[in-house]
Structure 1
Amino acid sequence: MLASATAVALVGGGGYLFATRPHDPPPPEAPYPSQAVAITYLGEEGPPPESPSRSFSFGVKVTAQSGPTITIVRISQPYASLSLTSVPPPPFRTKPGFGHKIVVTMHVTECANVPSNAALPFLDVTLRNTRAIEDHSFILGERYAHDLSGALQVACSNDSWSSPKR
């Protein structure tokens, strides 16, 4: 009987120790996609041969820096008088640590409403990972602003820049 009581006590004590042991902390949550991706301006590119007139292209590099794979769902820009396409077209995925080159082509649809000086232009990008889907605006820097302003001036060089909607 003493052996049975000892066995029950050992099993009960072992069960208590197992149940009250410290647990490993949960793994950290994946970062929000906008916190885990970098977009770098690479410079001007020649527009694809099939592009309409008043088109210009530039390259950017999208790099997922950490966390799970990120999907680029959409790329756009804020000016109503410009349309945008990219190669590759969204959606596409990028894994952490690998840069993904994208060639963005913009087409001026209405010169009277484009800014004559794009001082602080940005790209709007929709990103998704296992944690969230986010719309984020990326400012690509002074070189991009300069190149964009120059491309807009060339694209609309035969049109009037005197529109008050600059």
Structure 2
Amino acid sequence: MSGVGPVEPGEGTRARDLTEEYSPSLPRRPRGRFGQWYDRHRRGALAAAAAAVLLTAGGYLYLTRPHAPAPAAPPYPSQVVDVTYLEPVATPKGVRPGSFSFAVALSVESGPPVTVRSISQPYPGISLTSEPLAPFRARAGGTRNVVITMHVTDCRKAPESAGLPFLDVTLRNTRAIEVHSYILGQRYAQHLSTALQGICKHTSR
């Protein structure tokens, strides 16, 4: 009886050989100095990629952050300035005859300082000056007394009786420049009419 011993597996038939030959393998780390360089390069690339991700995320958060509301615009000067008639006052020395003076109070309720650039009145035959001279500045929360002096230059063009006289005041602040008309009330109308009649009583119209 001839016996047959255990059959030796042929080349490439062992489990280890099959695994090494047919199973997919991951890239292996190079060895030696090149392997060290590879490790350093790989770590640097990962660090750069992480930094890029953080930078992108930070930029996105910055661009999408809630924005503070814009500060409110200051008010228009005419909305916060008031001019109030006070009383007749003595005409300053050195003023030519045919003039009369009165005082007004100019107040600024709120907002930035307001500059009074000019003060005028609508009647022909009358000119006007002020003390302090325009332009002058008034601050919020304060009141400035202003002396207005009217100069009658032509009685024929001045009104015999002022109905609702007003002053045109040019105002400026950081928001705008405005010309605003202030009606000073019945007391001012009466005093203005009395002054004009007293100056022009001997002048034919």
TM-score (norm 2): 0.72
Once residues 41 and 21 of structure 1 are traced to their aligned partners in structure 2, the CA distance between those partners, rounded to angstroms, is 53
Deviation string 1:93-130 (CA, Å, 9 cap, x unpaired) is: 11111101110000111112211111110001111111
164, 178, 181: which one aligns with 1:120: 164
Once residues 140 and 126 of structure 1 are traced to their aligned partners in structure 2, the CA distance between those partners, rounded to angstroms, is 16
**Paired amino acid for 1:140:** L
Q: Which runs of 5+ in 1 are unaligned?
A: none
Taking every aligned residue pair, what percent have the same amino acid on both sides?
54
Q: SS at 2:156's partner residue?
A: helix
- 1:6-85 to 2 correspondences below 5 Å: 8-85=52-129
Higher relative contact order (CA 8 A, sep 6+): 1
Deviates more, 1:72-81 or 1:4-13: 4-13
Deviates more, 1:1-10 or 1:46-55: 1-10
Q: SS at 2:115's partner residue?
A: strand
Larger radius of gyration: 2
**Paired amino acid for 1:56:** F
TM-score (norm 1): 0.88
| Residues 1:100 and 2:109 are matched in the alignment | no
Match of 2:200 in 1: 156
Once residues 181 and 120 of structure 2 are traced to their aligned partners in structure 1, the CA distance between those partners, rounded to angstroms, is 9
Deviation string 1:40-80 (CA, Å, 9 cap, x unpaired) is: 11111111121111211000111121111111111110011
Q: SS at 1:79's partner residue?
A: coil
- Equivalenced residue count is 161
Q: Which runs of 5+ in 2 are unaligned?
A: 1-42
Once residues 110 and 7 of structure 1 are traced to their aligned partners in structure 2, the CA distance between those partners, rounded to angstroms, is 84
Match of 2:179 in 1: 135
RMSD: 1.7
Offset, 1:15 = 2.8
Once residues 23 and 96 of structure 1 are traced to their aligned partners in structure 2, the CA distance between those partners, rounded to angstroms, is 30
Structure number with higher helix proportion? 2
**Paired amino acid for 2:93:** P
